[in-house]
């Protein structure tokens, strides 16, 4: 296993059997150049399980790949759950490996949010409960292939969500004023240039192609928010809660966009 939990929750393609390139289906669209069924290796997957067009995915018509993150599930399933034996070496394990992968991906996503919450001093009142939840989810990831294949992640997520909500409330309360609630709001294509959304609840909000130029999104809760093609140029995302790299990768931005610590500025953003 990687030496830190944070490392374990980041995709490590060198130790994965290309599971996202095989297990997941996709349809020919603006995000993918071809159709692919679940269980069929992507035509760009090489013998060493690396992507043959990794450095040119967008211009090659595979933009969808650039906004996907397994949160470290790929290497966990490859090296821990299936003991480092690939679906090519043991074809009989392939079907189950493909079924287990998305289950572990969901668990790792929860671990990523719990780990973030535990790093927030303002959330100290719920740290004990967060640690207990994290231990329970980590224990589930260590299940056997049979156990993981049968696992219903819904109840697990339902048990974690109240803790993440409480964390969000505690942190956003420090933003000052009365933070806006836009939870689950349909804000597709909305002009929100310069909007004051500091500490806002944007959980699950649809912000597709929204103009968030120069908006203040500091301390906003962005868990599950859809930022595809949203313009974050000049926006302030410092301290944003439960933001993920795939969300940023799906959006547009520039050198003036202020990001939380630990995030990479997407290569396709303007200078």
pLDDT of residue 196: 95
Domain 178-271 has CATH 2.160.20.80: yes
pLDDT of residue 183: 95
Domain-by-domain residue ranges, the chain? 5-24+68-171, 178-271
Please give the model's pTM, rounded to 2 decimal places: 0.93
First-to-last C-alpha distance (Å) of the chain? 36
pLDDT at residue 190 is higher than 70:
yes
Q: Residue 82 in contact with residue 93, Cβ under 8 Å?
A: yes
Segment 36-55 mean pLDDT: 94
pLDDT at residue 6 is higher than 90:
no
pLDDT of residue 1: 41
Segment 183-194 mean pLDDT: 97
Residues in the chain: 271
Find tokens 């953003």 and name the residue: 269
Segment 225-248 mean pLDDT: 97
pLDDT at residue 223 is higher than 80:
yes
Q: Which residue has the higher pLDDT, 87 or 30?
A: 87
pLDDT at residue 160 is higher than 80:
yes
- Express as a percent the part of the chain with pLDDT over 70: 99
pLDDT of residue 166: 97
Residue-wise pLDDT for 59-69, tens only, equals 999 999 988 99
Among the listed residues 159, 161, 139, 133, the one whose alpha carbon sits nearest the alpha carbon of residue 242: 161
Residues facing 66 on adjacent strands: none
Structure confidence at residue 87 as a pLDDT band (50, 70, 90): very high
Q: Give the separation between CA 85 and CA 101, rounded to whole angstroms.
A: 14
Give the mean pLDDT of the chain.
Answer: 95
pLDDT of residue 176: 87
Q: Give the separation between CA 198 and CA 239, rounded to whole angstroms.
A: 10
Structure confidence at residue 3 as a pLDDT band (50, 70, 90): low
Structure confidence at residue 241 as a pLDDT band (50, 70, 90): very high
Segment 230-256 mean pLDDT: 97
């Amino acid at each position: 296993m990687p030496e830190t939990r944070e490392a374990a929750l980041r995709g490590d393609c060198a130790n994965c059997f290309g599971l996202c390139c095989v297990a997941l289906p996709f349809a020919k669209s603006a995000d993918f150049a071809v159709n692919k069924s679940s269980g069929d290796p992507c035509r760009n997957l090489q013998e060493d399980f690396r992507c043959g067009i990794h450095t040119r995915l967008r211009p090659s018509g595979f933009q969808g790949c650039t906004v996907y993150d397994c949160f470290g599930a790929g290497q966990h399933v490859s090296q821990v759950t299936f003991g480092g034996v690939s679906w090519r070496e043991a074809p009989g394990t392939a079907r189950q490996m493909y079924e287990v992968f998305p289950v572990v991906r969901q668990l790792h996503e929860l671990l990523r949010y719990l780990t973030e919450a535990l790093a927030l001093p303002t959330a100290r009142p719920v740290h004990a409960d967060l640690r207990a939840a994290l231990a329970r989810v980590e224990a589930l990831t260590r299940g056997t292939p049979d156990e993981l294949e049968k696992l219903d992640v819904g109840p697990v997520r339902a048990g974690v969500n109240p803790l993440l909500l409480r964390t969000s409330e505690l942190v956003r309360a420090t933003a000052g004023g009365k933070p806006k609630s836009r939870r689950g709001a349909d804000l597709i294509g909305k002009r929100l240039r310069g909007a004051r959304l500091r500490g806002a609840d944007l959980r699950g909000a649809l912000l597709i192609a929204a103009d968030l130029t120069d908006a203040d999104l500091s301390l906003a809760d962005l868990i599950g928010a859809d930022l595809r093609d949203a313009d974050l140029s000049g926006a302030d995302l410092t301290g944003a809660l439960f933001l993920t790299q795939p969300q940023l990768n799906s959006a547009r931005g520039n050198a003036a966009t202020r990001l939380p610590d630990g995030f990479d500025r997407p290569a396709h953003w303007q200078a």
